Every structure is written in structure tokens, then in C-alpha cells.
Amino acid sequence: MPSDATPDLYADPLRFGQRVQILRERRGMTQAQLAGLIGISEHTLRKIENGQRGTPTLDRVLRIAEALRVRDLADLTGHPDAHVDLFIGPGHPRLAAVKAAIDGFSLSSNTEPPPVPHLEARLARAWKDRHAAKNHREAIGKLLPDLIRDAEALVRHADSSAERRRAQALLAQTYSLSQFFIAYQPDSALLWRVAERGMVAAQDSGDPHAIGVAAWLLAQAHRDTGPRHYDAADAINLEAVRFLEPLLPDADDHVLAIAGALEFELGYTAARRRETGTAWRHWDKANDMAGRLPADYYHPITSFSQAVMGAHAVTVAVELHQGGESVRQAARADEHAIPSRPRRARHRIEEARGYQLDAQPDVAIATLEKAARTAPETIKYNGYARAIILEEVESTQAARRHRASELAMDIGLLAA
């Protein structure tokens, strides 16, 4: 190997500081630039890189990884067992309490469950709070521990098969709400437990709508895990679509909407595979289902509706890496018609991805600023948004770099 070649991260054991230096130089960053991004002095960073300081705290390691856009923590630490995908957001302060409620099975019958109508009303209120709140994880995170415990108690105390099925449907819905809270947080095992428990509870309920929602979320868990799970995502989606299809001629709006949401998910996964024709074919079928819904209808869980189909078109174009098409679809979509704050912010993020693909980084940053004003927790936990911001923090254009840095600090992505 020539003496000036970049060292291989895995050729020989390397100190943490050496790995930081290699990854920094691969990014074309100076010590001053990286130090500024992670909130330390250039002198301190120099000591870390040359081994005069030991490995920093976990929080600082994560900031370094974020700034260097390292997808796998093992690349930075050199420890294969530190295999952590960093394309996720930070842990929410209420995650521990939600996890404790999920993990804490109560086998006694001492806890008196709430009346069914009371739990139904609380769940409905929680979904409304999620859609209305700027910081939606905080809004539902504080409600989830009691909802989980009460829904589980309701199942335990059911006296008849009909009561048990109704209780299982409510438990499945509670797990669905939990999955929205847990998604993109650093506890993938907890996410899988919730997704699978939700599917089991939904199947036990026999409720078509509950089964459809649980399948929709379980398929997303598979798809977001990566390409090796795309087939599993499709298998779950297709099974749920086939299950619901005979019911659709007489279905209510909720069942029709979840069937449409599942159809779109098939298109979403196809777009991830870059299967253009298949992706748009499923979008067309979902759009036809949306057209059968009332114009002002909005599914309380998936957000499926006529209004959201424009946003879904942007997502398909972005996942297909069709920058120009994604920008055209963004121009057609009316994000103001989407009543849910987190869903509107997600749409803005997808638009920003489209603008970034179309070589319009200034518009992408401006669009992410709008997303942050709509629902800051959505952008804080979204890996795509954070990747765009960090890329533009390194821009050679001073105005763009400053704007991206301000946004990064506003959402807590970089040290102030």
C-alpha cells in the first residue's frame, strides 16, 4: 500500500481517535469544521484524534457519528458488537416509562380495568392529540403507560368471548399507538415486540379494521429494517389485502381506508426496490380506493384519505429517485389539506428530499424549516431530514451553511 493511502478501518486495530481522523478526512472535513459541529474546541478534537484523550462520552460519540454521517457505530468504535444503525432519532425522555409498561406483564387480577367506553374515549383522545400536537411523541408518550396497563387489564378481566375480542381490539389499537411513539427511537427490539403483539391481539379480536392496522404497521417495521425484509413486508401486506378484499363491497369507511393504506404500502416498498411500474400501479389502486371515501374523511391512524394521496405520490417519486417528478408531484400536492401535524411535517420532509434530488438544496432547507415549524419532533426523529441538514451544514455556500446550522441547532441535532 502506498504510504499516502487512506488506512483501512478494518485492516488493523485502530484507536478511536484514529478512526475519527480517517472518517473526517474521508468526508473532506477539517478539524475546525468537525469541532464546530460537535461543540468542542479544535484543540480538544486534536487531542482525541492523536490519542491524548480517551474515548468521549456516549453522547459525544453519537454527535461525532452524526456529524460524520456514519451509518453504523461499529465503523467509528471498531467494535463489531456495537452494530447500531444511526439513521434513527434520539431516545425520547418518556421512552423508559413506555418500555416499562410494555415489558411489565401483570399476572394478578387485582387491577380493576376501566369500563370499555372509557378506554375507547381515551384512545380516541390520544389519537387526536397525536395529530394535533407539534411535539406528538410527548403528547402520546405521557398517556401510553396507563393506556397499555389498562388495555392489558381489560383483556385479563374479560368474562366472555365477545368481551375478550372487543378488549383485544382495544389492546391492538394501544400497541399501534405505541408503535408510532417508539418508531425511529434507539430500541428496535421494543418496536418489534410491540408490532408483533399488536398483530396477535388484532388476530385474536377478529376485527377486520384492527387486523388491517396491525398488518400495516408490522409491514412498515419490516420495510424500514432494510432490503432483506422487503419480501416479508410484501407478504404481510398482500395477506392483509387478500383478507380484506371480500369485505370491501360493504365495508365502512375505516375498513376501506385501511385497505387503501395497505395498497399504497405495496407501492411504497416497490418504489424502494426501484420497480417504477409496480410502484405507480399500486399508487393508482390506492388512489381509486381513496376516491370512494368522502372528500372530508381522514383515517384516524394511517392518515389515509383523498387529501394524502398527493403526498403519497411525492413519496413514490422520491423513493424511485425521480427528482424532477418528485418536484412536480410536490407542486400538485396540497399539504394544507392534511389535518395531522406530524403527517404534514412528514410530507414536507418528502418534498425536501425531492428538492435535494433535483439539485435545489436551498429550497430543500427552506422546506425542512417549514416542517420544523409544523412538528419539530417529526423532523428531529427523521433520518432523511437529518441527513439533508448535515450535508448542507458542510456546504461551501456560506448562507446555506448558516441556515442549515441554525436549523440543526434548533432541533437539537448539533451542539449550540
| Statement: residue 43 has pLDDT above 80 | yes
Domain that holds residue 69: 16-77
What is each CA distance from 11 to 6, 76, 98, 277, in whole angstroms?
Answer: 11, 14, 42, 43
| Statement: residue 5 has pLDDT above 90 | no
**123, 99: one domain:** yes
Q: Which residues lie below 8 Å from residue 400, measured CB to CB, with a gap of 6+? A: 361, 362, 365, 392
What is each CA distance from 61 to 6, 70, 81, in whole angstroms?
Answer: 22, 11, 16
Is residue 362 helix, strand or coil? helix
Domain membership flag for residue 53: yes
Q: What is the DSSP letter of 145?
A: H
| pLDDT score recorded for residue 411 | 84
Banded model confidence at residue 9, pLDDT cuts 50, 70, 90:
very low
Quote the percentage of the chain above a pLDDT of 70.
Answer: 91
- What pTM does this model have? 0.80
Q: 8-12, 151-155, 282-286: which has the minimum mean pLDDT?
A: 8-12
Is residue 79 helix, strand or coil? coil
Banded model confidence at residue 257, pLDDT cuts 50, 70, 90:
very high
Quote the percentage of the chain above a pLDDT of 90.
Answer: 60
Domain membership flag for residue 4: no
**37, 72: one domain:** yes
Helices 58-68 and 31-38: angle between axes, nearest 10 degrees: 130
* Boundary (domain end) residue, out of 203, 223, 257: 203
Nearest-angstrom CA–CA distance, 214 and 120: 17
| pLDDT score recorded for residue 84 | 52
Asked if residues 230 and 222 have their Cβ atoms less than 8 Å apart, the reply is yes
Would you state the cell numbers that stand for residue 84, as one nine-digit string? Answer: 447500531
- Interval 337-357 mean pLDDT: 92
Would you state the cell numbers that stand for residue 67, as one nine-digit string? Answer: 456529524
* Boundary (domain end) residue, out of 140, 175, 203: 203
Domain membership flag for residue 21: yes
**126, 22: one domain:** no
Nearest-angstrom CA–CA distance, 29 and 155: 56
Q: What is the DSSP letter of 306?
A: T
Does residue 59 or residue 5 have the better pLDDT?
59
**119, 175: one domain:** yes
Distance from CA of residue 318 to its chain's centroid?
16
pLDDT, tens digit, for every residue of 358-367?
999 999 999 9
- Please name which of 180, 203, 199 lies closest in space to residue 191, comparing C-alpha atoms: 180
**122, 172: one domain:** yes
Angle formed at CA 155 by CA 153 and CA 157, multiple of 5 degrees: 70
- The total number of structural domains in the chain stands at 2
Nearest-angstrom CA–CA distance, 175 and 214: 9
Asked if residues 63 and 36 have their Cβ atoms less than 8 Å apart, the reply is no
- Please name which of 384, 389, 237 lies closest in space to residue 315, comparing C-alpha atoms: 384
DSSP track, 162-208: HHHHHHHHHHHHHHHHHHHHHTTSS-HHHHHHHHHHHHHHHHHHT-H
Banded model confidence at residue 4, pLDDT cuts 50, 70, 90:
very low
pLDDT, tens digit, for every residue of 400-415?
989 998 998 888 776 5
**110, 193: one domain:** yes
| pLDDT score recorded for residue 124 | 94
**106, 134: one domain:** yes
Nearest-angstrom CA–CA distance, 390 and 68: 9
Q: What is the DSSP letter of 84?
A: -
* Boundary (domain end) residue, out of 151, 184, 203: 203
**53, 95: one domain:** no
| Statement: residue 3 has pLDDT above 70 | no
| pLDDT score recorded for residue 68 | 79
Asked if residues 135 and 376 have their Cβ atoms less than 8 Å apart, the reply is yes
Assign residue 69 the CATH number of its domain.
1.10.260.40
**118, 62: one domain:** no
Asked if residues 414 and 393 have their Cβ atoms less than 8 Å apart, the reply is yes
- Please name which of 212, 142, 135 lies closest in space to residue 172, comparing C-alpha atoms: 212
- Interval 142-162 mean pLDDT: 94
**173, 125: one domain:** yes
pLDDT, tens digit, for every residue of 86-115?
555 668 899 999 999 999 877 766 778 899
Domain membership flag for residue 338: no
Domain membership flag for residue 23: yes
3-state helix, strand, coil in the chain (%, to 5): 70, 0, 30
| Statement: residue 177 has pLDDT above 50 | yes
Domain membership flag for residue 250: no
Sign of the CA dihedral with 297 first, then 172, 211, and 221 last = positive
| Statement: residue 45 has pLDDT above 80 | yes
Would you state the cell numbers that stand for residue 70, as one nine-digit string? Answer: 456514519
**107, 179: one domain:** yes
| pLDDT score recorded for residue 70 | 74
Domain membership flag for residue 180: yes
Nearest-angstrom CA–CA distance, 97 and 169: 23
Would you state the cell numbers that stand for residue 262, as one nine-digit string? Answer: 395497505
- Interval 170-190 mean pLDDT: 93
Nearest-angstrom CA–CA distance, 10 and 320: 33
Banded model confidence at residue 11, pLDDT cuts 50, 70, 90:
very low
Asked if residues 404 and 375 have their Cβ atoms less than 8 Å apart, the reply is no
**36, 117: one domain:** no
| pLDDT score recorded for residue 161 | 94
* Grid-cell match 401486506, residue found: 237
Domain membership flag for residue 295: no
pLDDT, tens digit, for every residue of 124-143?
999 999 999 999 999 999 99
| Statement: residue 238 has pLDDT above 90 | yes
Nearest-angstrom CA–CA distance, 257 and 303: 9
